[in-house]
Structure 1
Amino acid sequence: MADGAALEADLEVVGDGDLRYRLVPDWARLPSGWTLGHSAVAVDRRDRVYLFNRSEHPMIVLDPDGSFVDSWGEGLLTSAHHAHMDEEEHLYLPVLHSHVVVKCTTGGEVLQTFGEWNRPANPDWNGDHRQWMRTPPPRAHGPFCLPTGVAVGPDGSVYVSDGYGNARIHRFTPDGELLASWGRPGTTGPGAFFTPHGIRVDGTGRVLVADRQNDRVQIFSPEGEYLTEWTGFREPCDIAIVDELVYVAEGAGVHRAPGLLQIRTLDGDLVSAWDRRGAGRGAHDVCVDSTGAVYLNALDGNRLLKFVPI
């Protein structure tokens, strides 16, 4: 595991061409004695940063300068994965081992729950989220078994990648009615998933899925029709879409691939690629704020990294 100084030296400046960034050293300032667990990242319109993480304080809120604002979710949000904030500033949070997705206000009020608490849809799950990391689960199921990511489409549809214990994408109405599910376990072919790990919807309604262990991003219509895929990734984990650019966090998988982040156009053309440069495992989560700052969760040390445009 790389220490903080080594990581900062390796990643001080990253990017290519007009997309170059500087790392902000020791950006997140937590209260004394607090630690940051395995984290997801979301930002609101004021660029406050929401860290959904696996610690005693599962939701930690920071100002853009990294100072502490609030925490909530203790005793409820016990198993963090990714996070998504919609246009109305509602947070959607997969609670991994509880097999649900909760919709919350930015102050922690639970507004809606998708799925049933502690009711895994896959009866073969043995209680360990690592059970199907080396091989896909033998068959697909309904919602949910270890859901990983959430995205909200332009029409308000809620999409969930389902995830470690399943191999499906589920689409819901805003009220929580299941509209459709698609996908199957597999390592090749359209619609085959091996750890569908992150999900985002672009402005036209296309659904982009980070198919982590298959090293690709698959793209579907809102109804689940396969459209195309982008290859050339190394364990893609999470996706953010901002200003017609697609940011894909990569490298935080079972094979410890060397990637950290790729930036692509909406057509899939590579704009910039960041390597982790020996600084430990790659990035599990990515978010971009209104200033263009990029936030990454680096698994080694559970560090929240902030890069600002140069």
Structure 2
Amino acid sequence: MSPARPLTRRSFLSHSTASAAAALTAFPFPYVQAADKTAPEFHGAVIGHGTHRYRVDKLWSQADATKVPVNNCHEMVQVRDGRLFMLTDQAKNNMLIYDKKGALLGTWTLNLGGAHGLSLVREGDKEVLWITDTKGRVLKADLEGKILLELPTAAECGAYPVGQKYAPTEATASPDGTIYVADGYGSQFVLRFDAAGKFLDKFGGKSDLAPGKFLQAHGVAIDTRTPEPLLLCTERMRNEFQWFTLDGKFVRSVYLPGAFISRPVISGEHLLAGVCFGMIPNDYRPKLNRGFVTILDKDNRVISNPGGTAPKFDDNGQVLLMMQEQAVIQHGHDVCADDQGDLYVCQWNANKVYPYKLHRV
């Protein structure tokens, strides 16, 4: 048998992409086990590293699954008054509203069977939600679920020719009102619209390794930690965060080998993301591993991986391969950081579990 070749960024990406792409469309995953609320594994365990360690609370949600079912718990945000809004693709109740203790305060729905992306945007004193349905709808709603604006599809606004695949995964808006839509399950562009919903232009597009291009433009957020705000995108298949100017020019990227990051979340000076799964390289043949949470500091250096391996670095400061270490999280799709520093993990393809809370210790 010939010896295994060394793992490099290019080889890891090129040989893991096909496996990961197939896995994203193969349901159910054979290694997923249902959460057992009578004896939940890892409930009460402490996970994480350094200054960012957390106690796992798998029983946080007090929602009754017989009355308020969920499918995939995709994303969660905290509004100014402390309430937590959680988006699910269960069309009967797309939005579950919690307090920080896990009590369910209310629900509402827009009857979206592909509800996937949720971003909170402040417009002066008003807070609005950008909700993305992978079936092609991008909606701006108030906190009561009233639709305030719906964007045209990529074909309707002329961004794509009729018939080109459009399956948006996330939308957000910059301080000047410009709207950004990531077509993460479609043609891998980021579309820009003005505040009134008029299409402006697009950037990105599909490419294996070209900077500023995507294999999967999964999530978008506005990074306000820099002197001038930047658009931050998750390139999930290439295990990267990518930054762009607000008019779409590529600035830089950070590589997180092994981590299929879902949505970028800015919390103070930190950058967080749920990891839907990692890759285990084995004799140059990657195998799938399950998820965790990753936390980066103000310099975009990994400082903690709750549920994952402790971050280690090479001599150039590049973080080394990250994998799941404790099987707390099946497939992390989002992490929400509240105003007390606690985290909430939303999962997809995890047997319809409600979010877990990670209490900071």
Name the TM tier (shorter chain). 0.7 to 0.9
Q: CA deviation at 1:122?
A: 6.8
In the alignment, which of 74, 94, 105 is matched to residue 58 of structure 1? Answer: 94
Q: CA deviation at 1:241?
A: 0.2
Give the secondary-structure state (helix, strand or coil) at the position aligned to 2:351. Answer: helix
Q: CA deviation at 1:178?
A: 2.1
Amino acid at match of 1:271: I
Q: Does 1:232 align with 2:264?
A: no
Q: CA deviation at 1:257?
A: 3.9
* CA distance in 2 between partners of 1:53 and 1:77 (Å): 9
Percentage of identical aligned residues: 23
Alignment root-mean-square deviation, CA: 2.5
* CA distance in 2 between partners of 1:306 and 1:266 (Å): 24
TM-score scaled by structure 1?
Answer: 0.85
Q: CA deviation at 1:232?
A: 1.6
TM-score scaled by structure 2?
Answer: 0.74
Q: CA deviation at 1:8?
A: 4.2
Match of residue 130 from structure 2: 92
Q: Does 1:270 align with 2:302?
A: yes
- Of 192-201 and 23-32, more deviation after overlay is shown by 23-32
Map Cα deviations across residues 19-71 of structure 1 (whole Å, 9 max, x no partner). 11112231111135132211221211122111210222111111221111111
Amino acid at match of 2:149: Q
CA contact (8 A) 1:73 1:108 kept: yes
Map Cα deviations across residues 213-233 of structure 1 (whole Å, 9 max, x no partner). 111111111111111100024
CA contact (8 A) 1:235 1:257 kept: no
Match of residue 136 from structure 1: none
Match of residue 298 from structure 1: 347
- Of 6-15 and 84-93, more deviation after overlay is shown by 6-15
Residue pairs, 1:150-165, within 5 angstroms: 150-165=171-186
Give the secondary-structure state (helix, strand or coil) at the position aligned to 2:63. Answer: coil
In the alignment, which of 262, 271, 277 is matched to residue 246 of structure 1? Answer: 271
CA contact (8 A) 2:154 2:160 kept: no
Amino acid at match of 2:358: F
Map Cα deviations across residues 148-180 of structure 1 (whole Å, 9 max, x no partner). 012222322221111101111112222112222
Residue pairs, 1:9-28, within 5 angstroms: 9=42, 12-28=45-61
Q: CA deviation at 1:252?
A: 4.3
* CA distance in 1 between partners of 2:238 and 2:270 (Å): 22
Match of residue 260 from structure 1: 292
Q: CA deviation at 1:113?
A: 0.5
Residue pairs, 1:102-117, within 5 angstroms: 102-116=139-153
Amino acid at match of 1:302: K
Q: 1:100 to 1:117 in 2, by over 3 A?
A: farther
Match of residue 81 from structure 1: 116
* CA distance in 2 between partners of 1:284 and 1:237 (Å): 5
In the alignment, which of 160, 170, 180 is matched to residue 191 of structure 2? Answer: 170
- Name stretches of at least 5 consecutive residues in structure 2 with no aligned partner: 1-31, 280-286, 309-323
Map Cα deviations across residues 267-309 of structure 1 (whole Å, 9 max, x no partner). 3211112314234632011211111111111232233111121
CA contact (8 A) 2:43 2:57 kept: no
CA contact (8 A) 1:2 1:279 kept: no
* CA distance in 2 between partners of 1:8 and 1:293 (Å): 20
* CA distance in 1 between partners of 2:160 and 2:54 (Å): 42
